[in-house]
Amino acid sequence: MRSAWMRMAVGVLCCVLLGGMGARIANGQAKPAATPEEAKKFLEEAEQRYFDLNNKASRASWVQENFITDDTEQIAADANEILNTASAKYAKEAHRYDGVKLSPELARKRLLLELATGFPAPDDPKAQKELAQVLASLDGDYGKGQWCPDGDKKPCLDVTAVGKLMATSRDPEELKRAWIGWHAVGAPMRQRYARMVELGNQGSKELGYADVGALWRSNYDMPPDAFAKELDRLWEQLRPLYLSLHAYVRGQLAKKYGKDVVSPNGPIPAHLLGNIWAQEWNNVYDLMDSPKPAQSFDLTKILQERKTDPKGMVKYGENFFLSLGFPPLPQTFWERSLFTKPADRDVVCHASAWDVDSKDDLRVKMCIQITEEDFRTIHHELGHNFYQRAYNTQPPLFQNSANDGFHEAVGDTIALSVTPEYLKKIGLIETVPPASGDTDYLLQQALEKVAFLPFGLVIDKWRWQVFSGQVKPEQYNKAWWDLREKYQGVAPPVARTEADFDPGAKYHVPANVPYMRYFLARIYQFQFQRALCKEAGVEGPLHRCSIYGNKKAGEKLNAMLSMGASKPWPDALEVLTGQREMDATALADYFAPLKTWLDEQNKKNGYPVGW
């Protein structure tokens, strides 16, 4: 339906809940004597209406994010207000039928409708208008955000340009300036963010949830508290691997920048990890002493030398899906997508994938750079588009992923198959590095995949605390950095205060996109890949497996994708993997040889573990 990662701000169809499992603290609208026939009629009408409003809001948001002006912001706010208000109303009405015995399909639709509002507006037209304005303005502010190194004088750098600088500069002072510069984007959002929280909580309470966080955690076919516990279980399993990586990277950065800049046993300064948010560390790979095989290659350089253009980058991604048996993207995809940042206007550059009419109007919006990182991100985005298309024959309420982590995991799974063997097959490299280069390859992968894990956790740990009131507006920034330090072991390069609002400098916070999905996706993608490689009959270590060209694996993947949200997510997981539970062993096994190597290096170099 809407942008692939379902901007909850606008009450997008969201996922799955077995109703009454603990999140709701009241059953507001219960009226007796509703019949199954009435329930069926209500669900059919609501589903259709919801579908129409969703598509209208989707189109308005597409225009707003592609042409940020006061007018488009207003148009998007209006469309989203109508959708958000209607979805909160339908969610409330759906509870009227909670006790009515329905067919499994209708019962699931009822549950999905009850949850279809991701950020419910209160039942008050003034508050509904206000919420819609606040949401649109926060999203727009992020899109317009820039850092002007010389104050008022141009040139100014947008998020893509700042990201590039932070990925490539090795001058700690310059990096610090850029980090501070970009983070200033968040400060003006603070008050509006606090107001948004109030309004969303009020709407959630009216629906019977304690707060927005409780509503968000209710989307996973299990009681919300059990979901939170499940996350902690997975993280505990993976934490030792993260600690080994953290210790090694910190040691190597201290070697590069000196102990005055990087404390050998403290948190890592967040501006030195090659990424504005220190969320993935692949851009500092070249600072690592891992043993590079003679045939090692630099995909960024290869793509640039071949003069690959943005469309060419997308074509590589599409070609992978075609090789699995998926049909080509529609002509309109190529006509309507945005691949390059326009010179003359503000757009939201953060990559996203859309299905504007919930039929086949698939699009990507991304300011593509010719780099290995964006090569992978393209696969990520197309994963959303091919998922959207696979479920587009489902009824509207089932046109979604099994849970939001599934949506985020599909393209990443495909990108795991972008192995050296695959790159050779498609002619991008001539020689595959020998097995002795595997440690180096796994390190590159870990800098992206493992480094991200605690970041994927903390964004919503912070938001859940904010929504529940455990963290008050006057503690927003402190709570943010407490969590970043506790889980990630990173620290801001300069002292921060409550005049700052650093969460606002990360897209998903002002855009109100739930983030736990990305943590889940890191786990799922290795589970998916393990299952697909088995299906394809590929033997040997998982990190060497590519399912490129394997129709059997493609069919298996499609069997899961085409289910959409019609069944609880464990059913979908089982179709692909035979498992009904999230399982971190696929990821841990993938990186096990690297863990051994990292531990050896840390010991040999005397790098302490932890902070």
Nearer to ligand X8Z, 271 or 567 (CB): 271
Contacting residues for 94 by C-beta, under 8 A, at least 6 apart: 42, 43, 46, 110, 113, 114
Under the binding rule (CB under 5 A), the answer on residue 548 touching Zn ion is: no
How far CA 263 is from CA of 176, 493, 496, 607, in Å, comes to 16, 12, 19, 11
Return all residues near 188 (Cβ < 8 A) that are at least 6 apart: 141, 501
Select the binding partner of residue 54 from Zn ion, ligand X8Z, none (C-beta < 5 to 8 A, by kind). none
Contacts of 556 (CB under 8 A, 6+ apart): 531, 532, 535, 575, 576
Of the residues 487, 518, 524, 590, only one is catalytic, namely: 518
What's the N-to-C CA distance of the chain in angstroms?
Answer: 44
Min dist. Cβ of residue 484 to ligand X8Z (A): 14
- Does the footprint of Zn ion cover residue 507 (CB under 5 A)? no
The one catalytic residue in 95, 271, 508, 543 is 508
Query: Judged by CB, which is closer to ligand X8Z: 109, or 350?
Result: 350
Query: Which of these is catalytic: 73, 114, 318, 408?
Result: 408
Q: Is 351 a known active-site residue?
A: yes
Strand partners, 269: 491
> Which of 461-464's residues contact partners 24+ apart within 8 Å by CB, and which partners?
461/487, 462/503, 463/212, 463/213, 463/509, 463/514, 463/515, 464/213, 464/216, 464/217, 464/228
d(CA 24, CA 215): 8
H runs (alpha helix) in 417-437: 420-425
Query: Which residue in the block uniquely carries the two structure tokens 């943010």?
Result: 480
- Which among Zn ion, ligand X8Z, none contacts residue 115 (Cβ within 5 to 8 A by kind)? none
183 labelled catalytic = no
Catalytic, 193? Answer no
Nearest distance in Å: CB 352, ligand X8Z: 6
Query: CA 243, CA 489: separation in Å to the nearest integer?
Result: 9
- 226-229 long-range contacts, CB within 8 A, separation 24+: 228/464
Round to whole Å and give the CA distance between 169 and 171.
6
68 contact choice in Zn ion, ligand X8Z, none (CB below 5 to 8 Å, kind-dependent): none
**CB contact at 8 A, 1 and 355:** yes
Compute the distance between CA of residue 280 and CA of residue 403 in angstroms, rounded to an integer.
23
Catalytic residue, candidates 351, 402, 451, 553: 351
Question: Tokens 């095989």 appear where?
Answer: 293
- For Zn ion, the closer CB: 349 or 432: 349
Q: Confirm whether 278 is a catalytic residue.
A: no
> 387 or 441, CB closer to Zn ion?
387
- When the beta carbons of 438 and 448 are compared against ligand X8Z, the nearer one is 448
Cβ atoms of residues 179 and 493 within 8 Å = yes
**Cβ at position 379, least distance to ligand X8Z in Å:** 11
Cα 453 to Cα 13: distance, rounded to the nearest angstrom: 26
The answer to whether 452 touches 487, Cβ cutoff 8 Å, is no
Shortest reach from residue 541's CB to Zn ion, in Å: 27
- Pattern 379-408, binding to Zn ion, x per CB under 5 A? -----------------------------x
518 binds, among Zn ion, ligand X8Z, none (CB under 5 to 8 A by kind): ligand X8Z
Partner touching 377 among ligand X8Z, Zn ion, none, CB below 5 to 8 Å by kind: ligand X8Z
Determine the distance from the C-alpha atom of residue 80 to the mean position of all C-alpha atoms in its chain, rounded to a whole number. Answer: 21
Asked about 248 being catalytic, the answer comes back as no
For Zn ion, give the closer residue by CB, 5 or 333.
Answer: 5
Q: For residues 408 and 438, which CB has a smaller minimum distance to ligand X8Z in the complex?
A: 408
Angle made by CA atoms 224, 228, 234, in degrees to the nearest 5: 140
DSSP 113-134: HHH--SSPPPS-HHHHHHHHHH
355, 450, 545, 588 from 523: Cα distances, Å:
26, 10, 17, 9
| Catalytic position from the list 271, 380, 407, 543 | 380
Cβ at position 54, least distance to ligand X8Z in Å: 18
351 binds, among ligand X8Z, Zn ion, none (CB under 5 to 8 A by kind): ligand X8Z
Look at residue 130 and give the partner it binds from Zn ion, ligand X8Z, none, a contact being a CB closer than 5 to 8 Å depending on partner kind.
none
Verify binding: residue 5, Zn ion, rule CB under 5 A.
yes
Angle at the Cα of 145 (from 142 to 150), degrees rounded to 5? 165
363 forms beta bridges with 354
Select 364 or 575, whichever has its Cβ closest to ligand X8Z.
364
Q: Vertex 529, ends 524 and 535: CA angle to 5°? A: 130
The question of whether 280 is a catalytic residue gets the answer: no
The helix/strand/coil state of 569 is: helix
Bridge partners of 364, per DSSP, are: 353
Catalytic residue, chosen from 280, 381, 448, 535, is 381
543 labelled catalytic: no
373 as an active site residue: the answer is no
CB of 501 to ligand X8Z, least distance (A): 18
In the set 183, 384, 407, 543, the catalytic residue is 384
Q: What would the two tokens of residue 347 be?
A: 């757009």
Residue 354 or 597: which CB sits closer to Zn ion? 354
Structure-block tokens of residue 216: 């968000």
For residues 404-443, which are near Zn ion according to CB under 5 A? 408
What does 108 interact with, of ligand X8Z, Zn ion, none (CB < 5 to 8 A by kind)? none
Total chain residues near Zn ion (CB under 5 A): 2
Decide if residue 481 touches Zn ion (CB under 5 A).
no
Binding site for ligand X8Z (CB under 6 A): 5, 279, 351-352, 377, 380, 518
Residue with Cβ nearer ligand X8Z (351 or 466): 351
Query: Can you give the binding site for Zn ion, defined by CB under 5 A?
Result: 5, 408
Catalogue the active-site residues. Answer: 350-351, 380-381, 384, 408, 508, 518
